[in-house]
Amino acid sequence: MNTTVLRSWAAWSPGREDERAWRAWAARPVALEREGQPEVAFLPALLRRRCSTLTRIMLATGFGCCDAADRANARTVFASRHGNINESISLFERLSRGQPLSPARFSHTVHNAQAGLFSIAAENRLPSSSLAAQDDTFACGFVEALTHLQREPERAVLLVMADIPLDPTFSPLVDEPVAAYGLGLLLANDGDGQKIAFSSAASDAPPAPRAWPEAMEFLRWLIGAEPDLELGSGRVRWSWSRVADGSAQRTGFAAPSTA
Amino acid sequence: MMSDSPTPPPCSLKALAMLNALGRSNDEIWPRLVSGDQGHLTIRDDIVPDRSLWVGEVPGPLPAIPESLRRFACRNNALTLAALEQIHDTLDDVTAAVGRDRVAVVMGSSTSGVSDAERAIRHQVETGSLAPSFHYEQLEFGGLSRFVAELLDLRGPAYTLSTACSSGARALASARSLLALGLADAVVAGATDTLCGLTTNGFSALQVVSDEITNPCSRNRKGLTLGEGTALFVVTREAGGIQLRGAGESSEAHHMSAPDPSGAGAETAMRAALRDAGLAPDAIAYLNLHGTGTALNDAMECSAIARSFPSPPPCSSTKPLVGHTLGAAGALEAGFCWLMLDAQEDGEIALIPHVYDGDFDPELPPIPLATKGMREPVGPLMSNSFGFGGNNCCLILGKGPA
């Protein structure tokens, strides 16, 4: 059992861009939209032009849950199941035709492209991880964020989880709730916010069918009142629970802002 | 960067298995490594159109992925399976001792099953449908760690870090933290990458691939030589043996595909690793360079070393022997340090030589390069890994107190 403090959060999905919209969704959740991208007006125009949809979502949610100081001074974890695989498909097609690749497009297919762009945009020179873990990606992103809190206990960690719908080339091969979405969580060992306990255990129970991604199920729990949340992939059961602790109530969250 | 946490518990790198161009087992790899044998690189003219390139390919056939896991059947996972088979006994013992729900998997990769996906897409371009043997689990990064977890029926956290060429080093750093946190009692950690068209053509388009075997630190260096390989460790909280003693990391906020020419990010990572290990720079007995042989990397890395070490230790790049194995490089090069420590004799270790044309670039700050036959008293060893997107990780391995 490990405990951590969730200092603030921000989430984005097409048509749901502020706290009020997410509270309404959490009260009556429906499948999330698949098409659209955030404005990211806070980015310089030169950088904005290089941003794919996934990059925009990750930067909007990452910037949205951090103030300027956190943004430059937090360690970061970027979790995405599919990452930039859609961007790679056209490069695979070019390769199969013997055509040359664009160096800039190739550079943006690496899984840590968003981490690199965030580091540039936020002038953040702190350690950063990018990861994937199939349907455990959100939970493992949370685990990796805890490892950064272990490595440097005084420093906050920004966890960003986002995905966009897979290109039709591959989407028939993957059974998952399809959505364009992102969730940013600012985690720390102390400070104001919701104190959360986390643990994992072996499980053979098949995962519950869900109409929205696991990260969004976590958000629904966070906004709501249930004491505990369990998510699982059929291999591992991930458990989160609220720890009642003085002022640590959900009113402590900063309102998400993408400005 | 600086950790103020109490001294972390021991972090034993209990067992190691590797495959790379030099061989398919530690016993094959070590003598070739320490003698600086470049004879296992080969030439391929079928990866980049109109170019013949030296590459470091893993020789010979690989084991078949079990039928029940055929959705994971790609070369990257077959390389991983071949390594797992070598450390089967240790894995069984450790899993029996701590329980399978207490064993985590942290892998690194920058390619995963890209080479198989390329074939699947070529099939689609030619026939209108993906190759029938293709499954998405072969391509997605998370497929690698899930493959290991399902093969061994491990029930701890299992994920794949993909931070370009620092992935494998970062996997070991995360494994150590999982143990310190108590989120696992043992971790299968390492990295695997496979030669593929995407990365080779991508690096070629970035004009960083050499036509000759990579020649790091030379004034005549013309870029990198690509390779493939896997290195897997069983990591536990035991004392003694060979330990992961420190890790240091940084980002650069500089550029997506070029390092900060000042070397500031590399310097931050090295200094953080030394602090984390509680060591002074002069304690380091040897440094395994990132040493890709590109103009920019070697210049910034040598500057960073010259600033971080009042008197730098002997250094070598192993990329002229096995190629640049991308995300696997950080794990393989930690593995090479492990082999040096494991082969110690009479309180001394034989250093892996820096194999190049001998014409040290006078524009670079001078750093001592290890030569064949050089020996040093046993001490902690450092390994540098610097990735695309400005993502750096430096590890320190050493003998632990028994």
Closest CA to A160 of A115, A224, A217: A115
Residue B20 pLDDT class (50, 70, 90 cuts) = very high
Q: Supply the pLDDT for residue A206.
A: 86
- The first and second tokens of residue B276, run together, are 């984390």
Q: What is the pLDDT of residues B318-345, one digit of tens each?
A: 999 999 999 999 999 999 999 999 999 9
- DSSP single-letter state for residue B363: T
Please name the residue ranges forming H helices in B182-263: 197-205
Q: List the domain range (segments joined by +) for residue A39.
A: 2-252
- Taking 90 as the threshold, does the pLDDT of residue A111 lie above it? yes
CA distance A28 to chain B (A): 31
Q: What is the mean pLDDT of chain B?
A: 96
- Taking 70 as the threshold, does the pLDDT of residue A231 lie above it? yes
**Is A142 a member of any domain?**
yes
Chain B nearest-CA residue for A121: B253
What is the rounded distance in angstroms from the CA atom of residue B337 to the CA atom of residue B376? 13
- The length of chain A in residues reads 259
CATH of the domain at A124: 3.40.47.10
CA distance A132 to chain B (A): 5
Q: Supply the pLDDT for residue B123.
A: 96
User: Is B123 one of the catalytic residues?
Assistant: no
What is the rounded distance in angstroms from the CA atom of residue B147 to the CA atom of residue B77? 7
- DSSP single-letter state for residue A158: E
Other beta carbons within 10 angstroms of residue B218's beta carbon come to 18
Query: Catalytic residue among B11, B74, B135, B165, which?
Result: B165
Across the interface, whether the CB atoms of A97 and B125 are under 8 A apart is answered yes
Q: Supply the pLDDT for residue B319.
A: 98
Report how many Cβ contacts below 8 Å link chain A to chain B.
Answer: 232
With beta carbons less than 8 A apart as the criterion, state whether B50 and B43 touch: no
Cβ contacts of A107 on chain B, cutoff 8 Å: 202, 206, 256-257, 388
Q: What is the pLDDT of residues B60-99, one digit of tens each?
A: 999 999 999 999 999 999 999 999 999 999 999 999 999 9
Q: What is the pLDDT of residues B159-188, one digit of tens each?
A: 999 999 999 999 999 999 999 999 999 999
Across the interface, whether the CB atoms of A143 and B178 are under 8 A apart is answered yes
Q: Supply the pLDDT for residue B3.
A: 44
- Taking 50 as the threshold, does the pLDDT of residue A242 lie above it? yes
Q: How far is CA B267 from the centre of its chain?
A: 19
Q: What is the pLDDT of residues B202-224, one digit of tens each?
A: 999 999 999 999 999 999 999 99
Cβ contacts of A129 on chain B, cutoff 8 Å: 161, 163, 170, 174
Other beta carbons within 10 angstroms of residue A30's beta carbon come to 8
What is the rounded distance in angstroms from the CA atom of residue B76 to the CA atom of residue B328? 11
User: Which of A81, A152, A236 has its CB closest to that of B155?
Assistant: A236
**Is A257 a member of any domain?**
no
Q: What is the pLDDT of residues A35-44, one digit of tens each?
A: 999 999 999 9
Question: B69 and chain A: CB distance < 8 Å anywhere?
Answer: no
Question: B311 and chain A: CB distance < 8 Å anywhere?
Answer: no
- The length of chain B in residues reads 402
What is the rounded distance in angstroms from the CA atom of residue A128 to the CA atom of residue B269? 12
Task: Please report the beta strands in chain A, taking only residues with DSSP state E, as ranges in sequence order.
Answer: 2-12, 75-79, 128-132, 157-163, 181-188, 194-202, 228-232, 236-243
- Taking 80 as the threshold, does the pLDDT of residue A175 lie above it? yes
- The first and second tokens of residue B350, run together, are 């034989």
**Is A200 a member of any domain?**
yes
Element (H, E) at B232: strand B229-236
Q: In this predicted complex, what is the ipTM? A: 0.97
Tell me how many domains chain A contains.
1
Chain B nearest-CA residue for A143: B157
**For the structural domain made of B12-399, what CATH number should be given?**
3.40.47.10
Q: What is the pLDDT of residues B287-302, one digit of tens each?
A: 999 999 999 999 999 9
* In chain B, where the domains are located: 12-399
Q: Which residue has the higher pLDDT, B190 or A46?
A: B190
User: Is B254 one of the catalytic residues?
Assistant: no
Q: Mean per-residue pLDDT for A54-83?
A: 97
Residue A249 pLDDT class (50, 70, 90 cuts) = very low
What is the rounded distance in angstroms from the CA atom of residue A199 to the CA atom of residue B78? 32
| Four-point Cα dihedral A27, A135, A143, A12, nearest 10 | -40
**What does pTM read for this prediction?**
0.97
**Is A259 a member of any domain?**
no
